[in-house]
Every structure is written in C-alpha cells, then in structure tokens.
Amino acid sequence: MAETKIALLPDRGVVSVTGADARKLLQGVITNDMDLIDTQSALYAGLLTPQGKILFDFFVVKAPDGFCLETSRATAADLAERLKMYKLRAAVEIADVSTDYTVAAIWGGEYAPRAKDPAPLWFADPRLPGMGYRELATLRSDWALGGEASDSATQEEYHAHRIALGVPEGGRDFGFGEAFPHEALFDQLHGVSFEKGCYVGQEVVSRMQNRGTARRRIVPVISDGPLPDGGSAIKAGGVEIGTLGSTAENRGLAMLRLDRVAEFAAKGEALRTADVELRVELPPWASFQIETKTAGTGA
C-alpha cells in the first residue's frame, strides 16, 4: 500500500485577499507575522476579538495576485466580512471564493502536485511536520490527485491522523469566540508571533504569554474503549473540568483545566466522560506540562 494519503476536505473554504495593501492589512490584524511568508510556504494564524478570543483560524498562503486564507467553510463568508471591517480605504479586495477551490490534506509520505500550468496552491502544513501538506486546487489548475505513489483517504481518516498528533481544529475542538490562542495551542503550533507589532487582541495574548496564565489547554486523551462523540463534559470527582472535542475510536482531544487535572490525579480521581475513563497523553512536542500536586498539600 502506498504511504502517501490524500483526503478531500469539503468542510474547508477559501477567502481571497488581493490588492496592493493586502499584506499590510493582514499584518495589522492576524496573530502571526506576515514577514514569515517570505521564508516559508504558508502561515497558521487567527483573527481575534478585541478581548483576545479566536473568531477564526486559518492558513495564509501566497497566491499569484495576493493571498488565500484556507479556513472553515462554514465561517468563510463571516471571515471575509470581518476583514472588510478593517479594510477602511486600503487598496484591498476581499471575497469568499470557497466555490472556486477544492481543499485536500496530504500526509504520510512525500508529495508534489502533478499540475504545472497553472500550478495549484500547495504548502507544507506549518503547524507540525507530521501533518504533511495542504493543497488548494481549481479546475483551471487541471488538478490530478493520486497516482501510484498515493492512496485516497477519507475526511475521517484525516481527522484521526490530526487527533493522533494532538492538533486541534477550530469549530471541532474549540468554539469560535470562546477560546484564547494559548488554550487552542497557537503558541505551540506556530500560530502566533510574540515579536511582531500590534494586532487585534494582541495585549491579552501577550499578557497570557508573559504571566503564564493559560490554565486551560486542549490536550490528547485516550481510553481503553471507543470514545463518544465530542461535546460531552469531562469530570473528575464529580466536578466538571473540561469538554471532549473531536474523537477517533479511543483517542480524542479535550479542553481541560490542567490545574484541576493535576489536583484530582493527586487524589487518585480519574477523568471520565459519559462513563468512559480517560487518560491525558501530552504530545512530545508540547512545551507545557501538567504540574504534579501532592495530595493534601495543595502544592
């Protein structure tokens, strides 16, 4: 069986940002640094509320006449309208072009598009090397996926791959308008710059970074049997401390209060959701830890 897997992602959309001021506009509002686009094929980023919560997450990739933002198809039109709010008199054109593109995820092996003229937009997933590649293709690009070196895969297989690596996705593992970037692992997955200038919500994000106040995080969880669908509460000792996100068989992602996880672990209380016992399994790339507490000391 071929190593490279290719899955179409019909739930992903595209917003185009074109014009002389496209780069300047994005630099002023998104969480990541547009200067990085000169040295890497794409960025992972978000657009926040003034209070620092994630309204949209997306990839930014160069296009012949500007940039394309690959995002949730369900929120692509809203993202386009939100960007227009910040346009003012800038020389920028913004449009939801989701119907013009087919989005695919490619992982498990090497990949390069076969179409050359015009070439499709494709890039290495900037979050983790193991995530593979993404491709945004149009009918004009004469897209031809597959071949002897690749196998077709389902969208569910892609999400199982993502979950196994511990990579969350907006709308599945955190609600838009509900989570801060640190909680959604933007700081771990190259989705936020702490060196660039101001952007919407930047003060809150910088404060959380400097003070280390991210008590909630999305982390991988594992059980001995199948997990229920996402959305159920996670409890320990009868106390709700988080929510289950996306799942694939016995693995899932969950938004958890890590301080409470440590507290109940010290008491010997297991995590449970819908009568299923869970264990937290931090990914090897995570720079944060669940601090061990000693029962009875609160330390």
pLDDT of residue 213: 74
Return the number of other C-beta atoms located less than 10 Å from residue 129's C-beta: 10
What three-state secondary structure class fits 115?
coil
Of 223, 297, 287, 210, the closest CA to residue 254 belongs to 223
Complete edge-to-edge strand list for the sheet that includes strand 121-124: 121-124, 133-137, 102-107, 4-8, 150-153
Task: Tell me which amino acid residue 20 is.
Answer: A
DSSP calls for 219-231? EEEE-SSPPPPTT
pTM of the model: 0.92
pLDDT of residue 3: 87
pLDDT of residue 239: 96
Mean pLDDT of the chain: 91
Give Cα separations from 62 to 13, 72, 93, 120, 197 (angstroms).
16, 18, 15, 11, 21
Q: Going from the first residue of the chain to its last (299 residues), give the mean pLDDT of each consecutive group of 10, the final group possibly shorter.
A: 84 97 97 96 97 98 96 98 95 97 92 74 95 85 51 92 98 96 97 94 94 90 93 95 96 96 93 94 94 52
- Non-local CB neighbours of 246 within 8 Å, separated by 6+ positions: 159, 162, 163, 168, 169, 172, 173, 230, 252, 253
CA angle 120-123-128, nearest 5°?
Answer: 155
Walk me through the domains of the chain, giving residue ranges and CATH numbers.
4-165 (3.30.1360.120), 216-299 (2.40.30)
pLDDT of residue 214: 85
Helix (H) or strand (E) holding 157: helix 155-165
Helix (H) or strand (E) holding 208: helix 202-211
